[in-house]
């Protein structure tokens, strides 16, 4: 099942946190980032997908070292639409940030300085997507969206971009 289908399933589940307004907030944040930095919205969505690939890798390592509950706690704490340089520094080393910025620049054409400015918002946005599967009654328990994201096939193709496109269509935007 695709990431977006898992998110839709979470929206339809009364036991999970996901809502259409949460998806709308994510899309609005990406749109605002695009406008604030005078960049193409599609390029920012692509950048979000690349950030997702790096977040997946960092969370998989965190899960191996600290367990599922710690990964879910991090998603719960930092998943949102506000900026947090703290979570960027928690997930990535300085060389990983450089690599991430370089990949986004080469694939989207967005200036490296702009990407650096966007990262503290893009990382929480990706975590907010993952937060949609959080169980309302047991916030540190099983999260279908997070599990599906972390257990994906590892082909390097993170479908955050696709999920954003489908969410936009789903919400009629």
Burial environment of residue 158 by CB neighbours within 10 A (0 to 12, 13 to 18, 19 or more): buried
Q: What is the pTM of this model?
A: 0.87
Q: How far apart are CA 75 and CA 130, in angstroms?
A: 7
Asked whether residue 167 carries a pLDDT value surpassing 80, the answer given is no
Asked whether residue 123 carries a pLDDT value surpassing 90, the answer given is yes
pLDDT at residue number 156: 45
Measured in whole angstroms, how far is the alpha carbon of residue 92 from the centre of its chain?
14
pLDDT at residue number 104: 97
Mean pLDDT within 138-162: 73
H-type alpha helices, 12-132: 20-36, 41-66, 68-78, 85-91, 94-108, 112-131
Phi, then psi, of 2 in degrees rounded to 5: -70, 160
Q: How far apart are CA 54 and CA 119, in angstroms?
A: 12
Tokens of 77: 């704490």
Q: What is the mean pLDDT of the chain?
A: 88
């Amino acid at each position: 099942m695709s990431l977006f289908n898992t998110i839709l399933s979470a929206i339809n589940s009364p036991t999970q946190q996901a809502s259409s307004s949460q998806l709308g907030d994510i899309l609005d944040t990406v749109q605002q980032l695009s406008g604030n930095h005078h960049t193409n919205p599609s390029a920012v969505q692509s950048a979000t997908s690349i950030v997702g690939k790096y977040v997946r890798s960092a969370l998989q390592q965190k899960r191996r070292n600290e367990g599922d509950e710690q990964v879910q706690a991090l998603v719960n704490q930092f998943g949102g639409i506000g900026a947090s340089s703290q979570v960027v520094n928690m997930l990535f080393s300085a060389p990983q940030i450089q690599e991430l910025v370089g990949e986004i620049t080469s694939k989207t054409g967005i200036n490296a300085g702009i990407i650096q400015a966007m990262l503290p918002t893009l990382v929480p946005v990706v975590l907010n997507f993952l937060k949609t599967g959080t169980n309302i009654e047991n916030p540190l328990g099983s999260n279908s969206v997070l599990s599906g994201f972390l257990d994906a096939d590892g082909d390097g193709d993170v479908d955050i971009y696709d999920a954003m496109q489908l969410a936009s269509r789903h919400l009629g935007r």
